[in-house]
Amino acid sequence: MLDGGFLLNLLRIGVDIALVWYVLYKLMMLIRGTKAIQLLKGIVVVLAVRMLSILFSLQTIEWITEQAILWGFLLIAILFQPEIRRALEQLGRGNIFARSARSEEELMEQNIEAIIQSCKYMAKRRIGALISIERETGMGDYAETGIPINGRLTHQLLTNIFTPNTPLHDGAVIIKRENIVAAACYLPLSESPYISKELGTRHRAAMGISEVTDSLTIVVSEETGNISCTRNGELHRELDPEDLRKILNENLSLHLKTPEKKSWKRKGEKNG
């Protein structure tokens, strides 16, 4: 039978490991998306090479990696002094571990607001647009058919892409998280007989991509200025900005991945 001292030691070890992993996870979230993450990958490579050199008795490589590790931390402190100072300042303010979840939520809100503002601007001026937002299913194959952008999502950039008589305005924009991945992309056209005959190529492309991926796709009609959305082969038409905000929140929120079925119309069905 286990005594109390052994259970206490086991609990202490478990708490110790859990705290270390928690701190490492938060630090990874802190440096994610910065140049420090590339440095971390380099350190992992150096450590892996050193382990192999020890295993296979490669003395020269072992000496080189030993020197790299020995002097590398000093070099890191010099090169990444601004990042280290910023991290220590956040630690002093007590918000380093609360930053990740909050910043993710704020980033999501900024992305949604950028899309809404761009769609409002284009709808008012009847600028045609086709915007497909990647969710769980990768859209790399479709992004490769267009022109790489890899730029931070802003409503100014998104609107400028679809400005008429510019090289990128024709085709779809593909968005992944906070980035505009590519523009002028080709999306598969739906052959569904349920789509209204009055809808054009953009709507058919939006329906087509929604039938083969779980992406959320937004269409701004050049003829009417109406805003539509597609997902999972379903079409929701004539959205106002608040309707669009609700749909984006339902489908792109960190905690609400599945939209409410009642908010979607059947294929080709008009809203209201």
Tell whether pTM > 0.85. Answer: no
pLDDT tens sequence across 194-204: 788 788 899 99
Domain 101-263 CATH superfamily: DNA integrity scanning protein, DisA, N-terminal domain (3.40.1700.10)
Please spell the DSSP secondary structure of 78-138, one letter per residue. Answer: HHTHHHHHHHHHHHHHT-TTTHHHHHHHHHHHHHHHHHHHHHHHHHHTT--EEEEE--SS-
Q: How far apart are CA 206 and CA 209, in angstroms?
A: 5
Q: What angle do CA 177, 172, 103 make, to 5 degrees?
A: 15
Q: Is the pLDDT of residue 5 over 80?
A: no
Q: What is the mean pLDDT of residues 103-129?
A: 90
Q: State residue 159's pLDDT score.
A: 95
Looking only at the bridges linking them, the beta strands covering 172-176 and 234-239 are unpaired
Q: How far apart are CA 104 and CA 20, in angstroms?
A: 22
Q: Is the pLDDT of residue 98 over 70?
A: no
Residue corresponding to tokens 């949604």: 112
Q: State residue 260's pLDDT score.
A: 40
Q: What is the mean pLDDT of residues 85-107?
A: 63
Domain with CATH 3.40.1700.10 in the chain: 101-263
pLDDT tens sequence across 148-167: 999 999 999 999 999 998 88
pLDDT tens sequence across 18-50: 888 887 777 776 666 555 666 777 888 888 898
For residue 270, what pLDDT band results from cuts at 50, 70 and 90? very low
